[in-house]
């Protein structure tokens, strides 16, 4: 049975964790969905892991739509979430146009990075039938504004503001919240504060779902690995085994462990 927004809501209500993983092509989309991953994210992380850039900023709408079509062709029942690339949603009008392109390409939901300024755009998308995931915390498209990839929400004021923004964006129509690189206690507070399912990456084990970049969890990304990454291929004999181990570890709340978590 295909995973939908209602499936994710049911998981949250039952306290059952769900697994999210990136994929960028038909072959891996098939493997990932066959392994039981609930949500496939076509991330603008492709700018780094596929294209070799040092950030996600160079990724274009044309490239995102191409990869969404590829993933949709190989997917076997997972919910397909697509990142909206840098400045593709700078205005509500551009957000509507570009989100429609990704939905026509095969996405079931789009993901936007930002805070309270996104509220009107999220409302406009939601009113027109486009499900939205609001990405808070470390938002990679803001790397130049942040001055690097840094944990967000460690100060109490920043933590309270992030909780406020999550609630605001849910009221605006966000169906899912994604938290990246925030202290685990803050992620737990946000997960409890909103009815929408919350997905974490580097946000502790108390969120409703977990996401990793495919290349990271297979241990093939060159260079220094983020703290929140675990190489699942190292402990399993095949890629498919690694994918299934990731899904099981998330559902059993064995991943992420303390070693993958940021504290306040």
DSSP codes of every residue in 194-253 = -SS-EEEESS-S-SSEEEE-HHHHTT---SPPPTT---SSTTSSSHHHHHHHHHHHHHTT
Structure tokens at 157: 């004021």
DSSP structural state of residue 227: T
User: Residues forming the annotated binding site for Mg(2+)?
Assistant: 44, 83, 113
> Where is the binding site for 3-methyl-2-oxobutanoate, in residues?
44-45, 83, 111
Show binding-site residues: 44-45, 83, 111, 113
- Collapsing DSSP to helix, strand or coil, 191 comes out as helix
Residues with Cβ within 8 Å of 100's Cβ and at least 6 positions away in sequence, in order, are 130
Q: Mind telling me the catalytic residues?
A: 180
Q: How far is CA 8 from the centre of its chain?
A: 13
Alpha helices in 116-155 (DSSP H): 119-127, 143-146
């Amino acid at each position: 049975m295909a995973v939908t927004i209602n499936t994710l809501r049911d998981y949250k209500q039952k306290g059952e964790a769900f697994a999210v993983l990136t994929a960028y092509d038909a072959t891996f989309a098939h493997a990932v969905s066959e392994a039981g991953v609930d949500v496939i994210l076509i991330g603008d992380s492709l700018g780094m892991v596929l294209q070799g850039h040092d950030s996600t900023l160079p990724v274009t709408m044309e490239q995102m739509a191409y990869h969404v079509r590829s993933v949709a062709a190989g997917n076997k029942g997972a919910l397909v979430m697509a990142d909206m690339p840098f400045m593709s949603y700078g205005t509500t009008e551009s957000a509507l146009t570009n989100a429609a392109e990704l939905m026509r390409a095969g996405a079931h939901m789009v993901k936007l990075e930002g805070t309270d300024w996104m509220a009107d755009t999220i409302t406009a998308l939601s009113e027109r039938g486009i499900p939205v995931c609001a990405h808070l915390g470390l938002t990679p498209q803001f790397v130049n504004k942040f001055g690097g990839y840094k944990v967000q929400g460690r100060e109490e004021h920043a933590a309270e503001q992030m909780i406020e923004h999550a609630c605001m964006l849910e009221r605006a129509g966000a169906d899912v919240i994604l938290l990246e690189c925030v202290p685990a206690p803050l992620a737990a507070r946000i997960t409890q504060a909103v009815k929408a399912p919350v997905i974490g990456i580097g946000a502790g084990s108390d969120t409703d779902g977990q996401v990793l970049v495919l290349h990271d969890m297979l241990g093939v990304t060159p260079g220094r690995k983020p703290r929140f990454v675990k190489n699942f291929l190292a402990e399993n004999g095949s890629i498919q085994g690694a994918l299934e181990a990731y899904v099981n570890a998330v559902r059993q709340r064995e991943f992420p462990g303390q070693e993958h978590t940021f504290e306040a």
